[in-house]
Structure 1
């Protein structure tokens, strides 16, 4: 009898199926060191939809699990291999199939890099909003599978808010088309949203129809420095309450600021004694942008900001955003890092940062907090020595304590990174037994043999 690997090579070609352990190990895990991973039987790299279907059908007949994977930029272990699985990599399906400027949509395959799509549609005067921090190398397929967000979420929403329809290969190898190309449409269940954020547990996304927006105006940028995180949190809450919707509103704590200034060898205007920095942008253009930023500046001043600076110089604005995006790289000089992902009500951002400061002191670890203040999605990042078993264990404990703090503040254990293999127990704590029963029922209906990414998000009973 022909083996599964032999069949896959016959279907895809010998170069598209990898089995050398030295090579397959590089596909076995994502960026989350806490998440478990196994050794795959093979890594398959199909370059078209029939190839994806062939992999799914072959694995279904052999009853071998499939773990879909994009670029591996995830932070929860959602794309981590399990022993004996086939890792199905979608990066070769990298075609921008269509850009339709008149209907403001694009049709793309899952291997398209987020930044490449943004650059391609910009030539048509259009804009694809989701912009995760890894946007220069993460793929659209991975963004869809985790419902990724980014810095622009406060105004433009997360990935699901920009998706009109999907093509998905189901567990029997058939191709499901969901959604539409129209602006409106409510025929049947919203299957598109069901697959977005499902982390490869229900099917393999092979194409997406994405809604685009007109290209925004060049943004103005405001920076506000506060000597107390509570004051920064109060400013965020009041900005939201007053109905101002900037295109970006990010927050950095003192640890993040210090790391970035040292890493980039530059001052970002915070000054000594700064506990939190708020970075806001408005892409409304012209006088509208000036009104928005003036209103934000007044709120920050009233909330106790020690420093306020507004610029309409694009280079200066980009420099400030570069500082925000550089936080993880800046922390690497101190050790390895674990990035958490909790979302709390915007009125409680200050409390979450304070909780992280307490956890940092208790666990004797550096914890830097940055996040999307406009929607309350915070990313506390724990720095530890990877050669120290003791520090790794303390980092693991701190990771869970941050999630606990987020839930206690009325939040969620993930705002945009997903559950993966690292937060399975936390999902059950958050949504409860009835919610888990519904999840398992949906999984069983679409993947009765439990072959799509088993063990990610939750375990089947």
Structure 2
């Protein structure tokens, strides 16, 4: 028997037939996440544990037989981090899906990793509480996946990203041992911060089986404003002025001209043909929101907005946000999309957007650029015909050039999507050899056998 066959036999014996899946069709459907251009191998088995003890058994058995483990949540990621490797074990957190506790007094929730983001948000809202992280995939993505990539979202400009709300974790290590990191309390500086080390590690250091999340009081009612500009510069300047005003918008989104035009072509939103940029802002301060929106509108007008719309109620706010929600469906008919997520200092946003336009011209591809302008995290999206091999090659070159540009402007190659397979070759460029060496040493401590999501984030270790 091969090592994979012995592993499967052991897991069936210890966990039961229903937990261990080898059906080829099921395995094929779990091979990859939503990333484009990331290789996906053929897994040997899919295992669906429902307790920490079962995860321990899976990792102990995988370690004994030397079989790599790829942990998967909802597979909504965009970097290939959940993609299978040939002969690997896929560890699904789908059955680890319980909300274990919601404490109004402590303002925390204790959950398993398979809980869907939107389900948690609705559950805590029923108790007058708020879990802010809201990635665009929040109706599908799980808390475990959000932790794995330190996911952001539209409201992170005011509230922060997933890692800002992680108090503590329960993690099963490659050895099968369980470690609890962090704590339930608001404060705590005892020892190194292992919690934040696990956040964003994309399943390469351990398997999260429980998370203690910080909550906030339910936000007040929100109102929205949308402003149209004839240039990128005016839209970015207005966004900078909003951020400097002290208003602290709960959402500040930017669409460049090509993105706005694609949306207008997809659905008539009344945008002018010569739109250069679109800024969408929101305040969630209840009775004060109307005054906030009026001030945002005043700032946008001062910085050259040709049209500003102010919502007076929730329905009008929803309609003004529709343009942002239509980005993905509006871009899909244009061709295959390759989505980047570089982040730069806000002072460098104009240079980034002009550079992206130049890259699109150089490589003869369309690049649309929506993004979270309030925190400088943009999503340049390269669009091309995948049936055209030459166009695909140019698109990949353009994708790399955008990351080069982001680094040159003092930014990062990923603000919220993670490294996975898609950007592993670029990590050393950002970290430098010393930083990369430290990360390899950390990986060795947590996973000396290199069995947890090998080849993701950190490229294969040098021989010897």
Give distance in 2, aligned partners of 1:47 and 1:434.
39
Deviations 1:414-433 (A, max 9, x none): 10111111111211001101
Give distance in 1, aligned partners of 2:154 and 2:308.
21
Q: In the alignment, does 2:432 pair up with 1:414?
A: no
Corresponding residue to 1:130 among 119, 130, 133: 133
Residue 47 of structure 1 deviates from its aligned partner by: 1.7
Deviations 1:151-172 (A, max 9, x none): 0111000000011000100011
Give distance in 1, aligned partners of 2:314 and 2:450.
50
The match for 1:64 is 67
The match for 2:49 is 46
The match for 1:370 is 370
The match for 2:192 is 189
The match for 1:342 is 342
Give distance in 2, aligned partners of 1:234 and 1:247.
18
Deviations 1:50-80 (A, max 9, x none): 1111111100000111011111100111111
The match for 1:322 is 322
**Mapped contact 1:219–1:312 kept (Cα < 8 A):** no
The match for 1:275 is 276
Residue 390 of structure 1 deviates from its aligned partner by: 1.7
Instruction: Give the direction of change, closer, same or farther, for the CA distance of 1:82–1:418 in structure 2 (3 Å limit).
Output: same
Corresponding residue to 1:148 among 136, 144, 151: 151
The match for 1:389 is 389
The match for 1:456 is 456
Give distance in 2, aligned partners of 1:109 and 1:330.
35
Deviation >6 Å, runs of 4+: none
Give distance in 2, aligned partners of 1:87 and 1:456.
14
Q: What is the DSSP-based 3-state SS (H/G/I as helix, E as strand, rest coil) of the residue aligned with 2:83?
A: coil
**Mapped contact 1:16–1:44 kept (Cα < 8 A):** yes
**Mapped contact 2:346–2:374 kept (Cα < 8 A):** yes
Q: What is the DSSP-based 3-state SS (H/G/I as helix, E as strand, rest coil) of the residue aligned with 1:137?
A: coil
Normalised by the length of structure 2, the TM-score is 0.96
Give distance in 2, aligned partners of 1:452 and 1:441.
14
Residue 322 of structure 1 deviates from its aligned partner by: 3.3
The match for 1:101 is 104
Corresponding residue pairs, total: 458
The match for 2:302 is 302
Give distance in 2, aligned partners of 1:296 and 1:415.
26
Q: Mean Cα displacement is larger for which, 126-135 or 44-53?
A: 44-53
Q: Could you tell me which runs of 5 or more consecutive residues in structure 2 were left unpaired when the two chains were aligned.
A: none
Q: Could you tell me which runs of 5 or more consecutive residues in structure 1 were left unpaired when the two chains were aligned.
A: none
The match for 1:360 is 360
Q: Mean Cα displacement is larger for which, 378-387 or 12-21?
A: 12-21
Residue 82 of structure 1 deviates from its aligned partner by: 1.1
Normalised by the length of structure 1, the TM-score is 0.96
Residue 16 of structure 1 deviates from its aligned partner by: 2.1
